[in-house]
């Protein structure tokens, strides 16, 4: 193991350290070789002077290729012009494995090639920055709920029933019967909310999405709070606080990575409460004003969401969609039964939906009617109906897709770069 981390170089100025890592880049100028070494926490320029090492070592420094693994010893110095602000005067180094044919070179590669080499591509600077921001976002999600009285209750991956419609289910064998991979932990959250009041679950979710878009993965991570006694407005209040908290956390802790991605930080600095709240009808009006070909009553497609979200510089909360285009569990609006008390949060800059949620049906008879209308197997939902039989309560919550949130905050186009090993339509390698 190694004790020293490039990220902590400021604590080691003037000291001799041994660093283990991989050759990220190199250049040479006569009697000096500059080895750029990365250790997972950062990149450091290591300077090999011809006179400081043996002739064989100096030659080796010339020979080794990108991603050679090595251990390198020297004195840490402050150097504002160097990448990361510190560099190393090398005393000696040992090569663990010399590499001379690393497939990803400094030239441009096509996306097909990079995705085939995803297991190596994640070592590059930009991918590294994205995945670190992803980690920060996940940590922020957990901290937000942990600090606000929510209990984390994990929900199952193998499920007997659908949550988000039957068209995107992944079916799998389960001994002598079949099961589905979970589309959302929500239904179980509703049961645990009755036990703990405020809960969240956080895990992988699965959707056999037949469409190939920049927003859809087959396997994605979702964080889902569920709150007893919450109505739609409460749900929107929580979503707004939650997103604001996450963005601030990334700005506070991952500015360097945002800069690596050349993210326009001023756009993220605008993310403050309150977020605009508009009805589905008002969102449709925006589309009409912008001459988008859209049929009133339909669900928004990716491009519709892009157009709506481009009209705001903060996330916009679109509520009260037609109930017939939404999931079976949505509470109807008492003022207009054709509308659902639901909300989608659309991220700005054209990113579109990152959160979906709302208030759930809490009446037994109405829920049973909806299950039948949606042609869902009543038997599999018996336990879910029980929640409305034994001390029913108004409640609501939402789910946020981590990858969509990462794409927006990082300012990258496609969700395939927001998870280490994306599962995409017909693609499961590596």
As a whole number of Å, the end-to-end CA separation of the chain is 27
Is the CB of 42 or the CB of 397 nearer to ligand 4AD? 397
Say which DSSP state 317 is in. E
Pick between residue 355 and residue 371 the one whose CB is nearest to ligand 4AD.
355
Give the binding range for Mg ion (CB under 5 A) out of 153-161, 306-314, 321-329, 355-363: 355-363
H helices of 93-159, where?
A: 111-116, 118-121, 125-147
The per-residue b/e assignment along 217-246, b for 16 or more CB within 10 angstroms, e otherwise, is bbbbbbbbbbbbebbbebbbebbbebbbbb
Q: Which does 409 bind (CB under 5 to 8 A by kind): Mg ion, ligand 4AD, none?
A: none
Kindly state the smallest distance separating residue 207's Cβ from ligand 4AD, in Å: 4
Considering the complex, state which of residue 299 and residue 386 has its C-beta at the smaller distance from ligand 4AD.
299
- How far CA 134 is from CA of 9, 128, 221, 417, in Å, comes to 24, 10, 11, 10
3-state secondary structure of 154: coil
Q: What is the DSSP string of 370-408?
A: HHHHTT--GGGGHHHHHTTTSS---EEEEEEEHHHHHHH
Nearest in space to 126 (alpha carbons), one of 134, 79, 430, 72? 134
Question: Whose Cβ is closer to ligand 4AD: residue 21's or residue 397's?
Answer: 397
Half-sphere exposure of 164 (CA within 13 A, CB side): 18
Identify what 216 binds: Mg ion, ligand 4AD, none; CB under 5 to 8 Å per kind: ligand 4AD
Among 60-68, 155-163, 350-358, 379-387, which window interacts with Mg ion (CB under 5 A)? 350-358
Least separation in angstroms between CB 181 and ligand 4AD: 12
Reported residue count of the chain is 430
- Closest to ligand 4AD by CB, 159 vs 184, is 184
Least distance (Å) between residue 400 CB and ligand 4AD: 6
Cross-strand bridge partners of residue 206: 219
Give residue number: closest CB to Mg ion.
356
Nearest approach in angstroms of CB 283 to Mg ion is 14
Among 356, 358, 396, 397, binds Mg ion (CB under 5 A): 356
> Of 23 and 163, which CB lies nearer to Mg ion in the complex structure?
163
Q: Of these partners, Mg ion, ligand 4AD, none, which one is at the site of residue 67 (CB under 5 to 8 Å by kind)?
A: none
Minimum distance from CB of 395 to ligand 4AD (Å)? 11
Least Å distance, CB 422 to ligand 4AD, is 10
Which positions ≥6 away from 326 have C-beta within 8 Å?
Answer: 340, 342
- In this structure, are residues 201 and 219 in contact, taking their beta carbons and an 8 Å threshold? no
Strands 352-359 and 342-347: antiparallel
Angle in degrees, 0-180, between the axes of helices 402-410 and 232-253, rounded to the nearest 10: 50
> Would you call 323 exposed, middle or buried from its count of C-beta atoms within 10 A (0-12, 13-18, 19+)?
buried
Q: Which residue lies nearer to ligand 4AD by CB, 38 or 416?
A: 416
Using rule CB under 5 A, residue 352 touches Mg ion: no
CA atoms within 13 A on the CB side of 321: 20
Which CB atom, from 77 or from 135, has the smaller least distance to ligand 4AD? 135
Footprint of ligand 4AD (CB under 6 A): 163-164, 184, 186, 207, 209, 216-217, 220, 222, 224, 353-357, 397-401, 403-404, 415
Q: Of 222 and 247, which CB lies nearer to Mg ion in the complex structure?
A: 222
Helix (H, G, I), strand (E, B) or coil at 418: coil
The site partner of 404 among ligand 4AD, Mg ion, none (C-beta below 5 to 8 Å per kind) is: ligand 4AD
Helices 232-253 and 125-147: angle between axes, nearest 10 degrees: 130
When CB distances are held under 5 to 8 angstroms depending on the partner's kind, the choice from ligand 4AD, Mg ion, none that residue 201 binds is none
- Closer residue to Mg ion (CB): 127 or 168: 168
- Shortest distance, CB of residue 224 to ligand 4AD, whole angstroms? 4
**Phi, psi (deg, nearest 5) at residue 358:** 150, -165
Residue 42 contacts which entry, ligand 4AD, Mg ion, none (Cβ below 5-8 A, type-dependent): none
Q: At what angle do helices 302-310 and 280-289 cross, to 10 degrees?
A: 90
Measured from the CB of residue 74, what is the shortest distance to ligand 4AD in angstroms?
45
Phi, psi at residue 18, to the nearest 5°? Answer: -115, 125
401 binds, among ligand 4AD, Mg ion, none (CB under 5 to 8 A by kind): ligand 4AD
Q: Are 69 and 96 in contact (CB under 8 A)?
A: yes
- What's the min distance (Å) between Cβ of 5 and ligand 4AD? 32
Minimum distance of Mg ion from residue 292's CB (angstroms):
19
Return residues touching Mg ion (CB under 5 A): 356
């Amino acid at each position: 193991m190694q004790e020293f981390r490039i990220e902590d170089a400021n604590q080691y100025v003037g000291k001799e350290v041994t660093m283990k890592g991989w050759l990220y880049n190199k250049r040479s100028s006569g009697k000096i070789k500059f080895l750029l070494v990365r250790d997972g926490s950062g990149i450091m320029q290591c300077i090999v002077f011809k006179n400081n090492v043996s002739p064989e070592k100096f030659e080796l420094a010339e020979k080794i290729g990108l991603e050679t693994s090595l251990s390198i010893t020297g004195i840490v110095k402050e150097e504002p012009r160097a990448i990361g602000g510190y560099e190393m005067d090398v005393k000696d180094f040992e090569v663990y494995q010399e590499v001379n044919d690393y497939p990803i070179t400094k030239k441009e590669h096509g996306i097909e090639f990079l995705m085939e080499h995803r297991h190596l591509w994640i070592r590059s600077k930009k991918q590294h920055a994205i995945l670190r921001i992803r980690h920060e976002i996940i940590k922020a999600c957990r901290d937000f709920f942990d600090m606000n009285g929510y209990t984390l209750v994990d929900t199952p991956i193998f499920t007997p029933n659908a949550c988000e419609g039957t068209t995107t289910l992944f079916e799998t064998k389960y001994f002598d019967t079949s099961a589905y991979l979970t589309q959302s932990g929500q239904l179980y959250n509703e049961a645990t909310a009755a036990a703990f009041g405020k809960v969240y679950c956080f895990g992988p979710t699965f959707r056999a999405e037949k469409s190939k878009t920049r927003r859809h993965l087959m396997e994605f991570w979702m964080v889902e709070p569920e709150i007893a006694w919450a109505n739609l407005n409460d749900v929107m209040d929580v979503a707004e606080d939650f997103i604001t908290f996450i963005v601030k956390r990334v700005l506070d802790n991952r500015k360097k990575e945002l800069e690596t991605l050349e993210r326009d930080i001023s756009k993220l600095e605008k993310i403050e409460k309150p977020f605009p709240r508009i009805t589905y009808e008002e969102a449709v009006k925006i589309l009409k004003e912008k001459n988008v070909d859209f049929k009133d009553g339909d669900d928004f497609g990716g491009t519709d969401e892009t157009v709506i979200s481009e009209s705001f510089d903060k996330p916009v909360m679109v509520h009260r969609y037609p109930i017939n285009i939404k999931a079976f569990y949505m509470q109807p609006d008492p003022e207009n039964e054709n509308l659902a008390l639901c909300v989608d949060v659309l991220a700005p800059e054209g990113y579109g939906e990152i959160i979906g949620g709302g208030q759930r049906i809490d009446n037994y008879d109405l829920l049973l009617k909806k299950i039948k209308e949606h042609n869902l197997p009543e038997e599999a939902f018996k336990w879910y109906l029980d929640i409305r039989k034994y001390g029913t309560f108004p409640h609501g919550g939402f789910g946020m897709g981590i990858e969509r949130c990462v794409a927006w905050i990082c300012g990258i186009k496609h969700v395939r770069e927001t998870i280490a090993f994306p599962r995409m339509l017909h693609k499961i390698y590596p």
